[in-house]
A and B are shown apart, each in its own frame.
Chain A
Amino acid sequence: MKGFCLEVWGDYACFTRPEMKVERVSYDVITPSAARAIFEAILWKPAIRWQVDKIEILKPIKWTNVRRNEVGKVASPRNKESIFIEDERQQRAALILKDVAYRLHAHFEMTDKKGSEDTEAKFAAMFERRAENGQCFHRPYFGTREFAVDFKLVQPDQSQPKAISEDRDLGWMVYDIRHDNSKDESHVHSCTDKCSPRIYRPVMKQGIILVPDWKSEEVRG
């Protein structure tokens, strides 16, 4: 299985902890789900599924805080009363990461949606070409769209800066959401009760997190 490596960096990141979503608090590091989405922003087809293998943390984990005006929308079909933005304004703080850089290692697997023309070599070449030229389907981001990601493809033989020399037990983290896409033929997905989170307990050793396969025992849900 051919692996790919991307170096990604940005000024800020917010990988929101699901238990702290109102006033958002980020995880210490990127989740496999957010890392997968970065690869998908460059190339994704129904025929492939990205699996993140390893995350290298290249910069010390630093935090900052930002409070913004947001819209609180509380609505039910029965409640026809007006919602005025000014009245529904909520000021929410977010505890986010600052000055972030990772090296992400991943590979893809073919799914049962692959057509007769689809080969691994074809998608591998497509991904490499796009990543090499800075092309993307949409601009990848660190958790939320205002925190845009710069990326570059790393070739296996290139010498690389080392990951940070820090060990940390990161606790239980979201691994990914298992989405129920059965009703979303056009890929416009709104999560339903059938979508469920998967969690895992990563340990960062010398700045490196080894990400288990999504089917492995370490990933629970």
Chain B
Amino acid sequence: MSSVANRYDFVLLFDVKDGNPNGDPDAGNMPRVDAETGMGLVTDVCLKRKVRNFVQMIKEGKKPFDIFIKEKAILNNLIDQAHEQEKVKIKEKGSEKTEEARKWMCENFFDIRTFGAVMSTGKNAGQVRGPVQLTFGRSIERVVTSEHSITRMAVATVAESEKQSGDNRTMGRKFTIPYGLYLSHGFISAPLAKQTGFSEEDLKLLWDALKTMFDHDRSAARGLMGTRKLIVFKHGSEFGNAPAQNLFDLVKVERATDPAKPAREFTDYKVTLEKAKVPQGVELLEML
């Protein structure tokens, strides 16, 4: 299948209710917050993990949609596998062999075609820069972190039980954000898509992942998360037809309700899209 031939810039809006969208290991797993502004953050790698998990689930790890950086994956076995392929084997050592191995990895792994990978582990399979690039997600307004103490009616060890003379209770902590609407920017480079073979079918899968990845990532920590909007700007050419910042400025997220009161629902926000101002050569696709 042919590789993606257009540049895309996109805006992903997702929200969280009574959950922790992305814990900060530096802050005892509290939700990530920009300390200066109080805005919530979600890292790019957090979002990419969810895309990978979605594709792994939908495609059941089948080639050519296998996932390289799996949870419970074995990286070197996969790189070795690339080197066991006949067309890789016959190549001389050195850059040509690396190039064949790189190609094989791109052909078989969705996440390598999409996000790229450094494959100089073990047997060298080169380096790949993927076409899809995501930025940190940032909340529209300040988020407030709530800490909740919770109890467990059991203990882990006999020693603990003895200490409590059979009372067997432990306490834990859990952090949530009552509500937060987050915005992340994404970019797809057509020339890099050509280099990794990122196809139209892959692109469709990526949009599906971005739309529904949170629906398959339910857990006690996350609360209620969901993608609210996916606004895609499709350029008429591979290098693009307009500066990304001008397109992103067409998407405005404002409070629909009294900004003095805290937002608790998506309906507390109003997303407007200045469709009339979309420049020539750029097609607006409202995916969600």
Contact = CB atoms under 8 A, between A and B. Distances in A.
Interface stretch (A104-112, A128-136, A196-204): A128-136
A81 B75 CA distance: 10
Most chain A CB atoms below 10 A, which of B45, B75, B120: B75
Given A83-B75, A85-B72, A64 B26 contact: no
A151 B24 CA distance: 31
A94 to B, nearest CB: 10
A11 B99 contact: no
Most chain A CB atoms below 10 A, which of B127, B187, B191: B187
Given A75-B122, A77-B123, A150 B74 contact: no
Interface size class of A (residues with CB under 8 A): 35 or more
B127 A189 contact: yes
Contacts of B79: 75
Contacts of B44: 146
Most chain B CB atoms below 10 A, which of A12, A65, A68, A71: A68
A80 B76 contact: yes
Interface string B134-169: 111010000000000000000000000000000000
Interface string A76-95: 11011111111000010100
A135 B135 contact: no
Interface string B19-49: 0000011100000101110000101110000
A116 interface: no
B75 A73 contact: yes
A135 B241 contact: yes
Contacts of A98: 36
A190 B98 contact: yes
A78 to B, nearest CB: 9
Contacts of A134: 240-246
A136 B240 contact: yes
B224 to A, nearest CB: 23
B133 A148 contact: yes
B240 A135 contact: yes
B75 A75 contact: yes
Interface in B84-99: 94-95, 98-99
A210 B184 CA distance: 35
B75 A188 contact: no
A152 interface: yes
A198 B125 CA distance: 27
A184 B127 CA distance: 12
Interface in A167-191: 183-186, 188-190
Interface of B: 7, 24-26, 32, 34-36, 41, 43-45, 69-77, 79-80, 94-95, 98-99, 102, 120-124, 126-129, 131, 133-136, 138, 185, 187, 189, 191-192, 237, 239-246
Closest 7 CB pairs of A and B: A134-B243, A138-B189, A135-B239, A75-B121, A146-B44, A67-B26, A139-B187
Interface of A: 11-12, 64-71, 73-77, 79-86, 91, 93, 98, 130, 133-139, 141, 145-148, 150-152, 183-186, 188-190
